[in-house]
């Protein structure tokens, strides 16, 4: 019986022996022809796979597998250093980064990378030499190999480690792929990165000017992280969720004065106007599902029957919404009280799955804290009866509302640093989510797999 490949090329019409000879010659030509082109551009389609009829199916299967595994990619965006971001050491390291990038700019910077499609480990692509030069320029590529290797088109494990290093420095998901978000960050020019470093150097200068307290908390909204500092050393690092663009987490200097366990959430008028009332127009039972009550005159005013209200006719200033305490509450199970003119604060959240995202801008301006009970224990550790680790979780387990007023209030700073140098590590960059750095290029590009994730619940 003639082989399937013979049928495909109509060789079956020839005598079987002749077809076999032709097939042997054809296979030889394939092998000889492939040798000089092992570094051919991936976007030219690997024509020999297409001839055999399975290349496209393999690519489709791999893309599908990557989509299914999207949530498994890790993030490694927290600072590891015990040296606070708000320190002369970080300021000096950022100054050194400025000088380093001045040299890179003087040397001509780096080339842009065509973003027509992503590059996966194992791919062959004509953009790899440009990627390699880009990674070498900023020290992301490990020092090894040389000669003709630098012209190779193969995305090998050596390049892959450089890409991982780059993704870590930019707060991106560790996908090991040269994807759209990674290419967008690579394509910010050396001159633009230098301007960004200089801008953030001034922000750091303002942070360290004047008295620096022994004990404080600092939230860097641009990096989605929090540092708890005691005696000039970072004792706790936490991932945080901050305000989405348009509901920016503001620059704040305030004082933590208390802790509220099992808090009510008094829905701000802005959230009621922009989010809650429009939602009630299409989902009238939303209040009941989310344990939210509506009042007239004040949060403690006359309770109203939500089912009797025409939500298309109401004004947000006439009604007051209050969510009952519980695990469903938008504030979670604890609120960190820090009075300030912007009415923002830190708190728990029932939507903990969002901490697994690299770009965590989902709130209406407040800051949600991962592992918040551990931070609460740190805040209250000098209060009577709070020296025991796990005290916050114990309070929650008891299930009774508790308001703790701190006898030793703690300063807190909300800041916005998008670029800085680490005293013993690489230069860090983060996306300019609030467009405060002065150019759209700093905003980067949101990973499409993360862009599809949008929380539906209301949140402070």
pLDDT of residue 145: 54
Residues of the chain with confidence (pLDDT) below 70: 1-72, 144-150, 454
413-424 residue pLDDT tens: 999 999 999 998
In angstroms, rounded to a whole number, what is the distance separating the alpha carbons of residues 6 and 272? Answer: 70
Closest CA to 237 of 79, 411, 357, 393: 79
Which structure tokens are listed for 424?
A: 């013993």
> What does the chain come to in residues?
460
Do 308 and 228 meet the contact criterion of CB atoms below 8 Å apart?
no
pLDDT of residue 39: 39
pLDDT of residue 1: 45
pLDDT of residue 446: 84
DSSP assigned state of 177: S
- 302-303: strand order across its sheet: 265-266, 319-323, 292-296, 302-303
Domain 215-426: CATH superfamily is L,D-transpeptidase catalytic domain-like (2.40.440.10)
pLDDT of residue 192: 98
What is the maximum span of the chain, computed from C-alpha positions, in angstroms? 97
* Domain locations along the chain: 1-37, 215-426
Do 410 and 380 meet the contact criterion of CB atoms below 8 Å apart?
no
301-324 residue pLDDT tens: 999 999 999 999 999 999 999 999
Do 429 and 234 meet the contact criterion of CB atoms below 8 Å apart?
no
pLDDT of residue 15: 47
336 phi-psi bin (left φ>0, alpha ψ -120 to 50, beta other): beta
pLDDT of residue 19: 46
């Amino acid at each position: 019986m003639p082989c399937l490949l013979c049928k495909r090329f109509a060789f079956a019409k020839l005598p079987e022996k002749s077809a076999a000879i032709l097939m042997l010659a054809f296979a030889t030509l394939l092998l000889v022809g492939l040798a000089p082109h092992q570094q051919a551009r991936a976007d030219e389609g690997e024509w020999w796979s297409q001839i055999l009829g399975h290349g496209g199916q393999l690519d489709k299967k791999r893309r599908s597998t990557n989509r299914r595994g999207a949530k498994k990619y890790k993030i490694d965006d927290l600072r590891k250093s015990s040296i606070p971001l708000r320190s002369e050491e970080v300021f000096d390291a950022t100054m050194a980064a400025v000088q380093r990038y001045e040299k890179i700019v003087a040397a001509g910077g780096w080339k842009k990378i065509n973003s027509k499609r992503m590059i996966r480990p194992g791919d062959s692509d004509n953009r790899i030499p440009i990627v390699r030069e880009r990674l070498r320029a900023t020290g992301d590529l490990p020092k090894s190999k040389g000669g003709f290797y630098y012209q190779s088109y193969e995305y090998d494990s050596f390049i892959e480690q450089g890409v991982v290093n780059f993704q870590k420095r930019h707060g991106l998901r560790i996908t090991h792929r040269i994807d759209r978000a990674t290419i967008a960050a690579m394509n910010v020019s050396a001159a633009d990165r230098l301007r960004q470093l200089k801008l953030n150097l001034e922000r750091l200068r303002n942070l360290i000017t004047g008295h620096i307290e022994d004990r404080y908390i600092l939230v860097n909204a641009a990096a989605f992280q929090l540092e708890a500092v005691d005696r000039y050393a970072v004792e706790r690092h936490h991932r945080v969720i901050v305000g989405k663009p348009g509901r920016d987490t503001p620059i704040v200097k305030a004082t933590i004065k208390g802790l509220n366990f099992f808090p009510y959430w008094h829905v701000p008028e802005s959230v009621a106007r922009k989010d809650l009332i429009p939602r009630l127009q299409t989902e009238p039972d939303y209040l009941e599902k989310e344990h939210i009550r509506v009042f007239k005159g004040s949060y403690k005013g006359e309770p109203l029957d939500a089912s009797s209200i025409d939500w298309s006719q109401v004004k947000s200033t006439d009604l007051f919404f209050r969510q009952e305490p519980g695990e469903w509450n938008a504030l979670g199970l604890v609120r960190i009280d820090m009075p300030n003119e912007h009415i923002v604060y830190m708190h728990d959240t029932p939507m903990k799955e969002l901490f697994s995202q690299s770009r965590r801008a989902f709130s209406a301006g407040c800051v949600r804290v991962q592992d918040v009970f551990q931070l609460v224990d740190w805040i209250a550790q000098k209060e009577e009866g709070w020296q025991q680790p796990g005290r916050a979780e114990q309070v929650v387990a008891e299930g009774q509302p508790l308001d703790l007023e701190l006898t030793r209030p703690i300063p807190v700073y909300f800041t916005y640093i998008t670029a800085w140098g680490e005293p013993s590590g690489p230069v860090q960059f983060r996306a300019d989510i609030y467009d405060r750095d002065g150019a759209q290029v700093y905003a980067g590009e949101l990973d499409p797999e993360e862009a599809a994730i949008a929380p539906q619940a209301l949140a402070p």
